[in-house]
Amino acid sequence: MASFENILVEHDGPIATITVNRPKSLNALNSTTLRELTQAVREHAEQARAIILTGAGDKAFVAGADISEMKPMTPWSAREFSELGHVVTALLEDLPCATIAAVNGYALGGGLELAVACDMIFASENARFGLPEVTLGVTPGFGGTQRLVRLVGKLRAKEMIFTGDMIDAKRALEIGLINGIHPRESLLAHCKTVAQKIATRGPLAISRAKRLVERGYDMALRAANRQEAETFALLFDTEDRREGMAAFLEKRPPKFQGK
Ligand code: DAK
């Protein structure tokens, strides 16, 4: 496994926790960090059953793309930079394992975009969410105009995108941007509990369910439902399905092997 300059990776059985570790700049994403994140997520995609993403320190998850790195960019280098963000966010959606964002402070710009590419978002009470790109004269660049709209709807997304204002955790919960709010001290523990629970479920079922949700979003309902029916049927031919149903009837916990 590679060692990284700007991120930390910790393993706890089937759970990998990846921490963006640039607390002096509120964990802002420069290109090195985006490349490292991509590499770390790829390296852990095979063995981990769930990946938790969080930020170092007690102020920020990620306060956006690194403005000092962006300032001298030309349109061409900006395009390349944006691609780095798109690669890691698409990867998070395509992974077979679950991804959880533990938002422990500011999740702004690229930080919010990273969080909304995860399967779930839990936040601490001091979390703040926003897309301040328009205050810098640019648009969101890592998928913010697309994923946020799909999550909270056009009206709420446009309000956030056009004003650049931040919202607090309570408002984020109200508009369906996050799954829940937890005290800062217990946020990571809560995310680990959810991750551990997911890790006990059928791995093939989780990866297929994730794919159905992600791909189905861009498909017509009937085609997506057909795909769901086919996936459901295919899973009947797996060891995990036999084990899951046998375990229920024998009143014991299942032992899934991902086969
Ligand atoms: N980049 C670089 N440094 C940052 C940073 C960022 N995004 N956010 C904070 N920092 C640095 C500050 O400069 C400061 O550094 P020093 O002065 O200590 O050296 C340090 O972190 C602590 O920040 P503050 O002193 O400002 O802390 P406060 O508690 O007073 O304020 C804050 C916290 C989060 C409200 C404030 O730092 C802030 O407003 N930060 C900037 C938030 C922001 O605008 N983020 C960028 C969003 S734009 C695209 C590609 C990508 C993107 C767009 C387009 N294309 C290629 C098309 C994405 C853009 C974004 O993410």
Atom 13 in ligand 1: which residue has the minimum CA distance? 25
Spacing, Cα 257 to ligand 1 middle (Å):
44
- Ligand 1 centroid – CA 248 distance (Å): 51
Vertex 110 angle, CA 109 and 113, to 5°:
95
Q: How confident is the model at residue 48, as a pLDDT?
A: 95
Q: How far is the CA of 165 from the centre of ligand 1 (A)?
A: 14
**What SS3 string covers 128-145?**
EEECHHHHHCCCCCCCHH
3 confidence band (pLDDT: 50, 70, 90) = confident
If one looks up domain 203-249 in CATH, what number appears? 1.10.12
Write out the catalytic residue numbers. Answer: 113, 133
pLDDT tier for residue 161 given thresholds of 50, 70 and 90: very high
SS3 of residue 186 by DSSP: helix
* Mean pLDDT of the chain, nearest integer: 96
pLDDT of amino acid 130: 98
CB-CB contact of 22 with 33 (8 Å)? yes
Say if residue 223's pLDDT is above 90.
yes
Confirm or reject CATH 3.90.226.10 for domain 7-199, answering yes or no: yes
HSE-CB for 24 with a 13 A CA cutoff: 1
> Could you tell me which of 68, 50, 113 has the C-alpha nearest to residue 87?
113
- For 174-206, the pLDDT digits (tens) are 999 999 999 999 999 999 999 999 999 999 999
- The yes-or-no verdict on residue 2 having pLDDT over 80 is no
| Probe residue for ligand 1, chosen from 22, 26, 138, 166 as the CB with the greatest number of ligand atoms within 8 Å | 26
Give per-residue pLDDT as tens, 30-80: 999 999 999 999 998 888 999 999 999 999 999 999 999 999 999 999 999
To the nearest whole percent, how much of the chain has pLDDT over 90? 96
CA-nearest residue, atom 49 of ligand 1 = 141
Domain with CATH 1.10.12 in the chain: 203-249
Rounded to two decimals, the pTM is 0.96
The closest-lying atom of ligand 1 relative to the alpha carbon of residue 26 is 21
CA-proximal residue: ligand 1, atom 54 (nearest): 141
Q: Which residues line ligand 1 (CB under 6 A)?
A: 25-26, 28, 63-68, 78, 81-82, 85, 106, 108-110, 132-133, 136, 138, 140-142
Size of the chain in residues: 259
Residues 92-110 pLDDT 10s: 999 999 999 999 999 999 9
Considering the chain, tell me which residue range(s) the CATH 3.90.226.10 domain(s) occupy.
7-199
At 58 the pLDDT is: 93
3-state secondary structure 33-91: HHHHHHHHHHHHHCCCCEEEEEECCCCEEECCECHHHHCCCCHHHHHHHHHHHHHHHHH
Mean pLDDT of 232-251: 97
Ligand 1 atom 46: residue of nearest CA: 64
